[in-house]
Amino acid sequence: MKAAPIPALKRLMPTRVKSLAKDTFVNWKLRRAVKEINKLPAGEMPTAEMLVNLQIGWNNDGYVARTGYLSEVARHALTTAGPILECGSGLTSLLLGLLAGKRGVKTYSLEHMAEWRDRMNTSLNRCRIPNVQVELVSLKEHDGFTWYDALLATLQPQFALVICDGPPGHINGGRYGLLPLFGERLPSGSVILLDDADRAGEAEVMRRWQTEADLHIALHETANGSYAVLTRN
Ligand SMILES: C[S@@+](CC[C@H](N)C(=O)[O-])C[C@H]1O[C@@H](n2cnc3c(N)ncnc32)[C@H](O)[C@@H]1O
């Protein structure tokens, strides 16, 4: 008997089985991508293909950082002395753990969604990725803007690197709250990697930050979206 073609088999599968098959595939893809990066010699950059494999395994289209920003995060994660502050957890948290965490550099990641924090912890544990602490923090009204209620007392006194890809851009002030709330913990030479720098909200955040702090801003436009590297003078 001739075997049924794959698309025909797929149509016959119940939805639950299809979704289980997809979950199994993306989990396998994620573990394989993590393994590839784990095998890299110390200090070596993941290739673009490795980053794409990570994105496929992470399976969070629409919210995941694009490869231009992921490469920049990887470059800094390989060299920063840390510690690292991450605003908004996700694939970048895994990458930070794989490249900086493995060198003993710790990442503190702020996350406002409980189910997202749980997903992060499950993935970090399953893939045995070290030194990433995901902090569940609610979003709070501060002085004219909304931002994480950031447990200031329990986090590190200073950070060398900030991965700024949260909280969601649509809240009051978007990502602005980082500097008023954490500015004192960002010494001269510290770096902020701001994703989606071409969006109106992020451009406004950078404009406000520049009036409040001495920052060098380098904008990067790539085929895979734009981001900014801000260095505190
Ligand atoms: C832009 S995402 C952070 C992305 C992260 N840098 C990455 O590369 O995956 C910022 C926030 O969006 C929220 N988020 C992520 N995925 C989501 C989803 N599928 N649906 C709704 N919110 C999501 C989480 O709360 C997260 O902290």
pLDDT, tens digit (0-9, with 9 covering 90-100), for 3-39: 556 677 677 777 778 778 888 888 899 999 999 999 9
Instruction: Among 63, 73, 224, name the best residue to mutate to test ligand 1's pocket (greatest count of ligand atoms within 8 A of Cβ).
Output: 63
**How far does the centroid of ligand 1 lie from the alpha carbon of residue 39, in Å?**
27
pLDDT score for 133: 96
Atom of ligand 1 nearest to the CA of 87: 27
pLDDT score for 24: 86
Q: Are 109 and 100 in contact (CB under 8 A)?
A: no
Site residues for ligand 1, CB cut-off 6 Å? 60, 63-65, 88-92, 111-113, 116, 165-166, 168
Atom of ligand 1 nearest to the CA of 60: 19
pLDDT score for 83: 97
Q: Is 39 exposed, middle or buried (0-12, 13-18, 19+ CB in 10 A)?
A: exposed
Taking the C-alpha atoms of residue 145 and residue 159, their distance in angstroms, rounded to an integer, is: 22
CB neighbourhood size of 148 (10 A) = 23
Instruction: Among 93, 110, 116, name the best residue to mutate to test ligand 1's pocket (greatest count of ligand atoms within 8 A of Cβ).
Output: 116
Candidates 114, 113, 201, 138; CA nearest to 164 is 201
pLDDT score for 4: 59
pLDDT score for 211: 97
Q: Are 173 and 144 in contact (CB under 8 A)?
A: yes
- 43-82 per-residue burial string, b: 16 or more CB within 10 A, e: under 16: eeebeeebbebbbebbeeeeebbbbbbbbbbbebbbebeb
Q: Are 205 and 174 in contact (CB under 8 A)?
A: yes
Q: What is the mean pLDDT of the chain?
A: 92
pTM, whole model, 2 decimals? 0.91
**How far does the centroid of ligand 1 lie from the alpha carbon of residue 61, in Å?**
10
Closest residue to atom 17 of ligand 1, CA basis: 63
pLDDT tens for the 233 residues of the chain, in order: 555 566 776 777 777 787 788 888 888 999 999 999 999 999 999 999 999 999 999 999 889 899 999 999 999 999 999 999 999 999 999 999 999 999 999 999 999 999 999 999 999 999 999 999 999 999 999 999 999 997 766 777 899 999 999 999 899 999 999 999 999 999 999 999 999 999 999 999 999 999 999 999 999 999 888 999 999 99
